[in-house]
Structure 1
Amino acid sequence: MKNKKLLSAILLVIILIAGAIFVFGRNSQAKKADEPSKSVIKIGSKDFTENLIVAELYALALEDKGYKVERLSNISSSLIHQSLISDEIDLYPEYTGTGLLSILGKSLETDPKKVYQIVKDAYKEQFQVTWLDYSKANDGQGLVIRTEVAQKLGISTISDLQQHASELRFASQGEFDQRDDGIPGLTKTYGVFNWKSSKVYDNSLKYSVLENDEADVTPAYTTEGQLVNKDKFTLLEDDKQFWPPYNLAPVVRDQVLEDNPDVAAILNKVSASLDTETITKLNAKVDVDGEDYSSVAKEFYQTIK
């Protein structure tokens, strides 16, 4: 009799435990069903190395936080802004100077904070798009000189360059001689550049031209991968701040941020890890060493996650 009562008690306990587990499981499933699922974020990128790398960093950071990401790469620079405001993509890496001059058509401004505030306010009002934090990485226009020549003549700034122009061979890319942000604008700011000689070369050949001692100076962008080789190439300081800043930042549709408030913090962390030297080294791994941009981005992301 005692054994029957004991058995009944044990069965009762088992039934109660099983019931509790069942109820807990149902409640957990219901809770998960009520929780909103992470959105699919469509990340665009322009059609050059640096933008591809940075867009991939954004993608990896969002995936690491549970988001599903759709990558829409190699969009033409002339079309990507329209892709954003047409809801074809949700975000992409943009440059403050591009936003100021190319998208908004504003007047030239050289203070990085002012440029950022202008584009941030205008994009919010006109496009319902938010500029998140901008990074220290500045992919702007610059002038590069052979390091050997720079050291010989004591040239470290564009002012120094202008004073020694008559001793230097200039490798132009043609349109640079006519553009407002090229020689005409530089002349207004720094004075006339009376080059020893000036020839037009294809942009893709400029570093070969310098390396082969066919010219001494060439226009360049400040984060080009070849600039990691400082023994050969020296990027001159724009000491009179002629060129506007082109700081990198994520531009994101407002609706995306409303639906996914944590996206801002996730992407801002990526931006905080990027400066001009870092971006130049990442570009070099792709454009100089021949590595795949997604592998380069993944390797770097492991150091900042």
Structure 2
Amino acid sequence: MKLVEKHIKFLATLMVIVLFTTLVGCSKKSKTIKIATKPMSEQFILGEMLKLLIEDNTDLKVEITKGVGGGTSNIHPAIIKGDFDLYPEYTGTAWSFVLKEKEIPDDKTLYKKLNEKYEKEYNLSWVGLYGFNNTYGLVVRKDIAEKYNIKTYSDLAAYSKDLTFGAEYDFYERDDGFKDLCNKYGLSFKKSVDLDIGLKYKAINAKEIDVMNIFTTDGKIETSDVVVLEDDKNFYQTYSCGTVVRNDVIKDHPELKKALMKMENIITEKEMISLNNKVESEGQDEKTVAKEFLKAKGLLK
């Protein structure tokens, strides 16, 4: 009889353990989704958009770690470890910096291979691209562009000998920087100036320089008298932005993928410039900017 009682007690204890383990497992699946963003306004805005869409379309909660120092170099190892669940990333950065690939195929092929390699090597997926390309670029003062009908980098070459170029120090040192750009397009400027990155737009608006390098979704493009030129020989790599997410998180929360896909092709370069400008120049809160944009697109309930 005592043996039977012991057996019953053992089974009861075992059932409690199993039930507890099940409940713990369920609690893990209902955990907060952790988003990381790089230290730039654009990423802050995108992080808020992702948070709003996830919380509006699922029962999940979201925690954002804003402005992770070092950007990809620190976020990528952290997401593999499980410290973060997802983050906005750029295809060019993933291809050249993370995977260290040298050959750059066309955008469609690159994105397909990027997905395959991220899946195989890191157990990560790319879920949707937002629609804009934040790559390197050139602008010329609007008055000069209109005077000489300059629309492309090749157009610029014919008049570069009379123009002053400005850029931060790093641009003159990079492999895909000033020297290679000039060689590709036959550019030969009258003068080149080394400027602090935060003073470039001030310099071109004050007509201290005529041409300068940019990121193609810089907020200040909207409020400056400049024309973004077409990279007609495709010198610069494409940096399309999209969401990188851990596969185990998607497996645990399949509803998450549907929410993330609402970001697919919703933002143009012009719209991203405007959103960045609202935060950087107008001082608006990135959460408010993100919410108003998603509402205008009909993406929030």
Q: How does the TM-score come out when normalised to structure 2?
A: 0.86
Query: Match of 2:102?
Result: 107
Pick the aligned partner of 2:261 from 255, 259, 268. Answer: 268
Establish whether residue 297 from structure 1 lines up as the match of residue 277 from structure 2.
no
The answer for the alignment partner of 1:11 in structure 2 is: none
CA contact (8 A) 2:46 2:88 kept: yes
Residue matched to 1:173: 168
Give the match for residue 64 of structure 1. Answer: 56
> What residue identity is the alignment partner of 2:279?
V
Distance in structure 2 (CA, Å) of the matches to 1:243 and 1:285: 27
| Match of residue 119 from structure 1 | 114
Letter in 1 for 2:129: Y
Confirm or deny that 1:281 pairs with 2:274.
Answer: yes
Q: CA deviation at 1:161?
A: 1.1
- Percent of pairs identical after alignment? 34
Aligned residue in 2 for 1:204: 198
Q: Is it true that 1:82 corresponds to 2:77 in the alignment?
A: yes
Distance in structure 1 (CA, Å) of the matches to 2:276 and 2:77: 26
Mapping of residues 103-252 of structure 1, within 5 Å: 103-109=98-104, 111-191=106-186, 193-229=187-223, 232-252=225-245
CA positional deviation for 1:110: 5.8
SS of the aligned residue for 1:229 comes to coil
State whether residues 135 and 271 of structure 1, in contact with CA within 8 Å, keep that contact through their aligned partners in structure 2. yes
| 2:10 corresponding residue in structure 1 | none
Q: Partner residue of 1:51? A: 43
Tell me if structure 1 keeps the 8 A contact 2:136–2:215. yes
Aligned residue identity for 1:56: E
Q: Structure 1: which 5+ runs fail to align?
A: 1-32
* Greater mean alpha carbon deviation, residues 108-117 or residues 211-220: 108-117
Shift, 1:300, TM fit: 1.3
Q: Is the 8 A contact 1:110 1:244 kept in 2?
A: no
Residue 41 of structure 1 aligns with an amino acid whose one-letter code is: I
Deviation string 1:74-132 (CA, Å, 9 cap, x unpaired) is 11213111111111000000000000111111014262212212221111111000011
Aligned length: 270
Secondary structure of the residue aligned to 1:302 is helix
Runs of 4 or more off by more than 3 Å in structure 1?
Answer: 35-39
- RMSD, aligned α-carbons: 1.7
Instruction: Report which stretch shifted further, 150-159 or 89-98.
Output: 150-159
- Structure index of larger Rg: 1
Q: Structure 2: where are the runs of 5+ without partners? A: 1-22
C-alpha deviation, 1:269, in angstroms:
1.0
